[in-house]
Each structure stands twice: as structure tokens, then as C-alpha cells.
């Protein structure tokens, strides 16, 4: 691309003032043997600002849910809270009708790993651990995050440890990200190591992902390491990291009653935390949390 041409990122800036330096760095890293992300995985400033706005609403929604969760409520009531919030704020649930998913968010209680469907029959009890995962779009941009909540504020020590260690897995991975240095495999390795050190296992069937212009984009973000080259993390990539960590064995199955609910095979607890983040010139910015 010539210096004075408009940059490939869609910024409408001249190449020399936009991604020229970025491309030079990528070329050097490629020579060193790194796998360089495709240009479709790189967002420009306008897109990042759009995703930041969507993330603002997604965070407000999770805050609202955090303040509303209580013993004795059904997970369907959480869905109702979300439905009203989304409507009031001109946001759209990305989950609703996604491959037939019937509700506006996922509520995954105790041995449910992910994709739990809000239900009037699931009543929260003191000491339950629940993951609430919300993905919304605002003005065409997407944000995706999930948090764990302990119903009634207290649970047993083992459950508390699982919730804490799972969050630590996410934070440790995030803290390690340096543009043009860290690879996706580094993320997987850090998560796996911290989970195993604490006697827990990592779910392998579900992973993080690119996000922003739709809910699920390239690349896959695995929460364990693999013996192959994985993408280098570079500025402008917007991804989720969302480790699912099991108290017992890593095996899971999909409940045949609804075709969605993912459960641990051994019935032990599972926890998950998810952030949407953008890789910046000196680290990351967590957008949705
Ligand atoms: N929020 C989930 C994710 O982190 C996706 C939910 S898909 C649904 O990728 F269909 F279950 F809603
Ligand atoms: Co999610
Ligand atoms: Co996600």
C-alpha cells in the first residue's frame, strides 16, 4: 500500500499516518516465525469506539443484575430484568434466537458450565453459584461478558475458591498481554497452569473469540495450550477471554432436554468469567466486564 492511499483499516486516514508502522512490525514478527492475524481481525478506532459504547451498556446491565440477584428468585426473572433494560436502552440481545436460543442471556447455576436457559423452574438458593453471561448489540456493535455471583453472599469454601481462581485465571491472562509479544497460546497456557495448580480442570469444548461486529468472530481463543502456532496479539484485536473451570473433571455434556444447557459430567461445580477486551499499543483495555 502507498503512503498516501487510504489505510486498509477503513479509518479514512492516509496509510503512512495509520497502519504503516503496524504493518512493518507485523512483517518483522512474521520473519521471526510468528503467526500474524488477518486484517479482518483488526478493528479501527471508530469500530473500537462503537464496541466501547456497546460495552458500556453491557456493563450497566451486568451491574443491574448484580444488584438484583437474590435468594428465592427464578433465573427467568433475571431474563425479564435484561429484557426491560435492553428495550429501555435501545440495545438488542445477541443471544435471543441465536441458533434458536430462546432467551436474552445465559444463566448457568452450579454444575451448569454455560448456556443455561433462564427458567421459572430454576429458583436460586443460598450458596448457589451462578454465571450470568450477556451479549448485546448497540448501534451494530457487540459486547460480551459474564460474571459469577454467589447467591446470598456466602457459600462453602470450595465453591468460593473455584469462583475466585476462575477469575484469577482470566486476570492473569489479561495481565500478560503485550502487543507484538504475546500469542493466543500464552493465554491458554497461563489459564491452564493456574487452574491445574489449584486442582481444577479446564473445559475444552468452548472458547473465547473475536467479537465486535458480530457476537462470534475469528479467532478462537482457547483456554488451554496447543502444539501449534497460534496468532500473535496485536493492537486493534478485540477478543473475549472466558475460561470455564471445573471443580472436578473436565468432561461435559449437553443436556438433551433442551439441547443447550452444558453440564459437568461428574455433577461438580463449574465457574466462568468473561471479558471483552481490545489489544492496545501498550497492553489491553478491558471493554466489557
Ligand atoms: N455469550 C456467549 C459467549 O460468550 C454466547 C451465548 S450463545 C447463546 O460466547 F446462544 F447461548 F446465547
Ligand atoms: Co458470553
Ligand atoms: Co463470549
Structure confidence at residue 159 (pLDDT): 98
- With a CB cutoff of 8 Å and minimum separation 6, the contacts of 244 are 113, 114, 166, 202, 203, 206, 223, 270, 271, 272
| Residue 289 near residue 258, CB atoms below 8 Å | no
Please name which of 62, 46, 43, 45 lies closest in space to residue 288, comparing C-alpha atoms: 62
Q: How many angstroms separate the first and last alpha carbons of the chain?
A: 37
Structure confidence at residue 52 (pLDDT): 99
Edge-to-edge strands of the sheet including 112-114? 112-114, 262-264, 252-254
Distance 230 CA to ligand 1 centre (A): 23
Going by CA atoms, what residue is nearest to atom 4 of ligand 1?
144
| Residue 213 near residue 142, CB atoms below 8 Å | yes
DSSP annotation of 214 reads: S
CA distance 255 to 263: 7
| Per-residue H/E/C for 99-112 | HHCCCCCEEEECCE
Length of the chain measured in residues: 289
State the burial class of residue 138 (Cβ atoms within 10 Å of its Cβ: 0-12, 13-18, 19+).
Answer: buried
Distance 12 CA to ligand 2 centre (A): 32
Q: How would you write the pLDDT of the chain (289 residues) with one tens digit per residue?
A: 999 999 999 999 999 999 999 999 999 999 999 999 999 999 999 999 999 999 999 999 999 999 999 999 999 999 999 999 999 999 999 999 999 999 999 999 999 999 999 999 999 999 999 999 999 999 999 999 999 999 999 999 999 999 999 999 999 999 999 999 999 999 999 999 999 999 999 999 999 999 999 999 999 999 999 999 999 999 999 999 999 999 999 999 999 999 999 999 999 999 999 999 999 999 999 999 9
Structure confidence at residue 48 (pLDDT): 99
Structure confidence at residue 127 (pLDDT): 98
Q: What are phi and psi of 250, to 5 degrees?
A: -80, -10
State the burial class of residue 73 (Cβ atoms within 10 Å of its Cβ: 0-12, 13-18, 19+).
Answer: middle
State the burial class of residue 275 (Cβ atoms within 10 Å of its Cβ: 0-12, 13-18, 19+).
Answer: buried
Q: Is the dihedral of CA 10, 16, 17, 20 positive or negative?
A: positive
Q: Of 114, 143, 240, 288, which is best to mutate to test ligand 1, by the most ligand atoms within 8 angstroms of its C-beta?
A: 114
Q: Of 75, 98, 112, 212, which is best to mutate to test ligand 1, by the most ligand atoms within 8 angstroms of its C-beta?
A: 98
CA distance 199 to 221: 22
pTM: 0.98
Is the CB of 115 inside a 6 Å radius of any atom of ligand 1?
yes
State the burial class of residue 53 (Cβ atoms within 10 Å of its Cβ: 0-12, 13-18, 19+).
Answer: middle
Structure confidence at residue 107 (pLDDT): 99
Amino acid at each position: 500500500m502507498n503512503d498516501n492511499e487510504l489505510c486498509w483499516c477503513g479509518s479514512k486516514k492516509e496509510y503512512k499516518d495509520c497502519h504503516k508502522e503496524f504493518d512493518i512490525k507485523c512483517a518483522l514478527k512474521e520473519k521471526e516465525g510468528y503467526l500474524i492475524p488477518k486484517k479482518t481481525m483488526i478493528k479501527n478506532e471508530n469500530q473500537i469506539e462503537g464496541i466501547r459504547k456497546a460495552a458500556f451498556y453491557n456493563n450497566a446491565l451486568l451491574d443491574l443484575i448484580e444488584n438484583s440477584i437474590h435468594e428465592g428468585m427464578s433465573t427467568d426473572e433475571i431474563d425479564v430484568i435484561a429484557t426491560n433494560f435492553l428495550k429501555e436502552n435501545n440495545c438488542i440481545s445477541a443471544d435471543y434466537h441465536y441458533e434458536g436460543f430462546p432467551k436474552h442471556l445465559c444463566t448457568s447455576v452450579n454444575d451448569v458450565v454455560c448456556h443455561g436457559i433462564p427458567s421459572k423452574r430454576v429458583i436460586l438458593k443460598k450458596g448457589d453459584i451462578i454465571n450470568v453471561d450477556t451479549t448485546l448489540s448497540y448501534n451494530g456493535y457487540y459486547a460480551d461478558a459474564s460474571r459469577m455471583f454467589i447467591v446470598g453472599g456466602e457459600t462453602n469454601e470450595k465453591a468460593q475458591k473455584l469462583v475466585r481462581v476462575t477469575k484469577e485465571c482470566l486476570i492473569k491472562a489479561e495481565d500478560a498481554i503485550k502487543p507484538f509479544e504475546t500469542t493466543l497460546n500464552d493465554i491458554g497456557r497461563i489459564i491452564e497452569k493456574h487452574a491445574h495448580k489449584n486442582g481444577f480442570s479446564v473445559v475444552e469444548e468452548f472458547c473465547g473469540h473475536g467479537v465486535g461486529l458480530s457476537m462470534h468472530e475469528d479467532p478462537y481463543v482457547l483456554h488451554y495450550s496447543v502444539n501449534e502456532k497460534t496468532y500473535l496479539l496485536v493492537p486493534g484485536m478485540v477478543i473475549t477471554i472466558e475460561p470455564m473451570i471445573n471443580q472436578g473433571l473436565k468432561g461435559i455434556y449437553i443436556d438433551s432436554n433442551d439441547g443447550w444447557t452444558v453440564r459437568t459430567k461428574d455433577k461438580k461445580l463449574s465457574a466462568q468469567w468473561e471479558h471483552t477486551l481490545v489489544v492496545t499499543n501498550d497492553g489491553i483495555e478491558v471493554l466489557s466486564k
